[in-house]
Chains A and B, each alone.
Chain A
């Protein structure tokens, strides 16, 4: 009734202004527009997309196998004639194809370990923040305690103790990397849980777990996305760190860290064995950091001015 009565009044008003349809913008659209304006982040996203395609399809296109040893060209410098565009290592394996295949492992570890830490961190943080009180205090105290431990040494211990299996790398890195995520999610949950819509859900009789799953976690999405993009490079870094020490992925599998480690050993006679994987690794980390930064600027409600 009221709506129909109002309509004719509004229409001429809109016509006078020359706007027929005022479209609202959701917070996500705002964020998207801010992100598009951040050139560094956008270029980084393009480069990362290119890197992904290269790493996934590259090994299929390059004519060498990663474990093929070309005895005619051992420690050969990059050249177009030999077909080894990035040169070969000390036993004649093609650096380009090894770098690309190593990239698969590095990126895979980055992704999987981040998902592990994401699942643990979000669940833990949301539960602690939602229940509050003593539950929260005890759970966060545990996080504080683990936080104070030299976690890198525990990853190393884990690798030494349980063998160097690739699945273990995922779990070990993910399992020690969830602390930041848990803290951030808890903080956000604390501020969310007193909002009206949560109260409404509670009044409707939605059980706590349902509220966490349906109402809290979706509202954490923004900040979680930012931290995921910032966690991926961290995880890739940890994996390459382990591989560099000889504790990560084992031959014949390879990762950027392992390749850098190999390259660093022969760098005086064959610097190209170091340069290719180092370059790929650094570019990837650089891009992820810029994307994460851009997302944080775009999604951070603090400077929505």
Chain B
């Protein structure tokens, strides 16, 4: 297991390199630089700025310079927010995005599996059909549609919750977390239902029932683990989806998280900030996928890497 994990970790390096390379060259071939604002700078000042940020070096030299910086986790100064380094901006935005993301993920996992199991146990009844209908709706409604509607109903008309903003308090979290969790919840519910139905028809469940175990024990002790396997492997894509979803959510609810910095940075051609955020997100997705793989292997006795590799 340990050897396998280490090998997988080493295998992540090419992915990371490619991520950094693509992000770097894409931003640099872009027409327009970070300093072409509405009022043009005097040429000497612009030259000085370019020199300061190494923008006048040959592209390859810039690339290796940047790689060296990233290797020591220094994403450089932000081009737009003059007095800030990208590290400081990330340090400010990341905890906020992380809080929303982790809460939404946990909510989606718990509610999704519970709903899925409930639907599977009442397969082809009205409860099953309505739960799955709602789940399909959850998948189909984009979160930038559901968010304004929730704001309109719960914040503007009813006045129960704040319409946006972020103070770290519970009330300001409810709507963003709910909206972000909705599509993943719906997807997990559908996955769990399908997987549960399949597992309940398998022989080992028949055995468990035949030896007279009560149904609740059959489900908790025997069915749950294999049922969760497809859900676990969905967690990787789910997290990637949540990260991109958070860009929209943070904008709608005006949350000062990484996603808002990313969109602002992209629109302002703030190269260093955008690359910093893309790399951070990429690393996050890659690492989370790695963790998901490990959990999957731990839950699934069929996978024993050491013997095969």
Is A87 at the interface (CB under 8 A from chain B)?
A: no
Cβ–Cβ contact B27 & A161, under 8 A: yes
How many A-B residue pairs lie within 8 Å, measured between CB atoms? 117
Chain B facing A: main interface SS: helix
In the complex, which residues of chain A have a beta carbon less than 8 angstroms from the beta carbon of B252? 264
Residue of chain A at shortest CB distance from B16: A148
CA distance A71 to B107 in the complex (A): 47
Residue of chain B at shortest CB distance from A263: B148
Cβ–Cβ contact B145 & A282, under 8 A: yes
* Partner pick for A156 among B18, B137, B266, CB 8 A cutoff: B266
Chain A 264-298, CB-CB to B under 8 Å as 1, else 0, gives 10011001001000100110011001100100000
CA distance A157 to B271 in the complex (A): 10
Considering only CB atoms and an 8 Å cut-off, how many residues of chain B contact the other chain?
45
Chain A's interface size range is 35 or more
* Partner pick for B27 among A157, A282, A290, CB 8 A cutoff: A157
A84: min CB distance to chain B, Å: 21
Is A254 at the interface (CB under 8 A from chain B)?
A: no
Chain B 222-251, CB-CB to A under 8 Å as 1, else 0, gives 000000000000000000100110011001
Chain A 145-168, CB-CB to B under 8 Å as 1, else 0, gives 100111111101110111000000
Is B33 at the interface (CB under 8 A from chain A)?
A: no
Cβ–Cβ contact A290 & B136, under 8 A: yes
Is A244 at the interface (CB under 8 A from chain B)?
A: yes
CA distance A248 to B244 in the complex (A): 16
In the complex, which residues of chain B have a beta carbon less than 8 angstroms from the beta carbon of A267? 148, 151-152, 156
* Partner pick for B248 among A150, A244, A285, CB 8 A cutoff: A244
* Partner pick for B156 among A246, A260, A268, CB 8 A cutoff: A268
Cβ–Cβ contact B18 & A281, under 8 A: no
13 other A-B residue contacts (CB within 8 Å) besides A158-B26, A245-B248: A148-B289, A149-B18, A150-B285, A154-B22, A157-B26, A160-B30, A160-B266, A241-B144, A246-B267, A247-B266, A260-B142, A264-B252, A281-B145
A-to-B contact residues, CB < 8 Å: 144-145, 148-154, 156-158, 160-162, 233, 237, 240-241, 244-247, 257, 260-261, 263-264, 267-268, 271, 274, 278, 281-282, 285-286, 289-290, 293
